[in-house]
Amino acid sequence: MNLKEEKYSRYALVREMMETPSIIRTFKPDVATAFAQRIKACKGLFLTGEGSSRIFPAKRAISRSLQTSFGMPVVTEGCTQALDYNLSSFAVFAASNSGQTKEVVRLLTALRNAGHSAIFGLTANGGTKLCELAGDTHVLLCGKEDAVAATKSVVEQALFYDSLLRVLHGVKMDGLAELAAQFGEALTAGIDPAITNTIKKARTVYFAGRNNGVAEELALKTNEITRKKSDFLEGTFALHGIEEVMDKDDALIWIDPFDSEQEQFDKRLAKGAGINVIAISAKPTMFPTAVIPDAGEYAEYVQLAAGWNILVETGLATSINLDKPERARKVGNEYSEQ
């Protein structure tokens, strides 16, 4: 994927993806400092939103928090289910690029009415209903997205949560210039046409991997970018019954495969069910693999970039308009005053 060829540059989706390395490189970790003191007084951090504004940013934050043993619990849930929860001891961060997502507005209104004071917003648009309801809001610097599928904003949201957790726990955030280069490398790497062709022909594209937001976010992007059915299979869920309905007409993209389970995936899925297994990994695997740079603690960002690359190549191979799905909307469920 590149901007030198018209087949790519004509799409806002690709242009916005290609802006992401610069967003990473210029991100200022201290943007989270103003929020940290108010959050420290709470017993936990609740990250909410809908769709792409929650999946990768929130779940990556939870995964990294657990890996680094940050003391403050970090949890996530969609806004509507969150209405059932007692969030009185949590700082609530609600993300909505539009600032007008109906579910977000409804939850924050309920929290405000209940006297909850630690409510914060994360958006790409200032002066919106989210900003009105939140006690304080961080407005992203990535700029407006024209494509329906959210991309660059998802990464900046994740960087913000990453920086917030580090500020809360006194950990420096550095290495962003290197990450930007690695992200760009994964985004522009040539994709084996055999991989693209496999996904193009697939009836359903499954994504397997850790519950850190990468595979789940790519499953959503598969719907928006390639118009194919997809599903996220957390961890090793693919070995626990779903193989009964998998066959040679399906593909499975495995993000950062577990070394200990590759033989089982090969035996039961590739050989047993006939499913086409593809991997995205920083090292070779038993399967056709898109090999990416090893980004260490930032690995999830680079995995996401490689997934975007594969999906764009697949979408182009199917001759669809990457910017304009037939039914999906930029704001999935928009709040209205009426």
CATH of domain 178-317: 3.40.50.10490
Query: pLDDT tens digit string along 80-121?
Result: 999 999 999 999 999 999 889 999 999 999 999 999 989 999
* Residue 113: partners with Cβ closer than 8 Å, 6 or more residues away: none
Cβ neighbours, 10 Å, residue 134: 24
* Residue 284: partners with Cβ closer than 8 Å, 6 or more residues away: 291
Query: What is the model's pLDDT at position 314?
Result: 97
Contact 183, 24 (CB under 8 A): yes
Residue 227 burial by CB count (10 A; 0-12/13-18/19+): exposed, middle or buried?
A: middle
Locate 63 and state its tokens: 């995964």
Q: Which residues in the chain are classed under CATH 3.40.50.10490?
A: 6-174, 178-317
Amino acid at 133: L
Query: What is the model's pLDDT at position 94?
Result: 97
Distance, in Å, from the CA atom of 214 to the CA atom of 183, rounded to the nearest integer, reads 14
- Residue-by-residue DSSP string for 107-148: HHHHHHHTT---EEEEES-SSSHHHHHSSEEEEPSS----SS
Query: pLDDT tens digit string along 196-232?
Result: 999 999 999 999 999 999 999 999 999 999 999 999 9
Distance, in Å, from the CA atom of 143 to the CA atom of 127, rounded to the nearest integer, reads 14
Cα angle value 80/85/90 (rounded, 5°): 110
Segments of the chain with pLDDT less than 50: none
Distance, in Å, from the CA atom of 125 to the CA atom of 143, rounded to the nearest integer, reads 9
- Residue-by-residue DSSP string for 127-138: SSHHHHHSSEEE
Which fold does the domain 6-174 belong to in CATH?
Answer: Rossmann fold (3.40.50)
Query: What is the model's pLDDT at position 72?
Result: 84
Distance, in Å, from the CA atom of 21 to the CA atom of 155, rounded to the nearest integer, reads 10
For residue 92, give the nearest of 118, 110, 114, 70 by alpha carbon.
Answer: 118
Cβ neighbours, 10 Å, residue 33: 13
For residue 114, give the nearest of 130, 131, 95, 90 by alpha carbon.
Answer: 90
Cα angle value 299/193/230 (rounded, 5°): 60
Distance, in Å, from the CA atom of 48 to the CA atom of 50, rounded to the nearest integer, reads 7
Cβ neighbours, 10 Å, residue 337: 4
Query: pLDDT tens digit string along 253-272?
Result: 999 999 999 999 999 999 99
Cβ neighbours, 10 Å, residue 68: 12
* Residue 327: partners with Cβ closer than 8 Å, 6 or more residues away: none
Query: What is the model's pLDDT at position 329?
Result: 60
Query: What is the model's pLDDT at position 322?
Result: 94
Contact 89, 44 (CB under 8 A): yes
Query: What is the model's pLDDT at position 41?
Result: 87
Distance in angstroms between the alpha carbons of the first and the last residue of the chain: 43
Q: Say what the pTM is.
A: 0.96
For residue 30, give the nearest of 174, 143, 180, 177 by alpha carbon.
Answer: 174
Amino acid at 117: S
Query: What is the model's pLDDT at position 324?
Result: 86
Amino acid at 308: W
Query: What is the model's pLDDT at position 321?
Result: 93
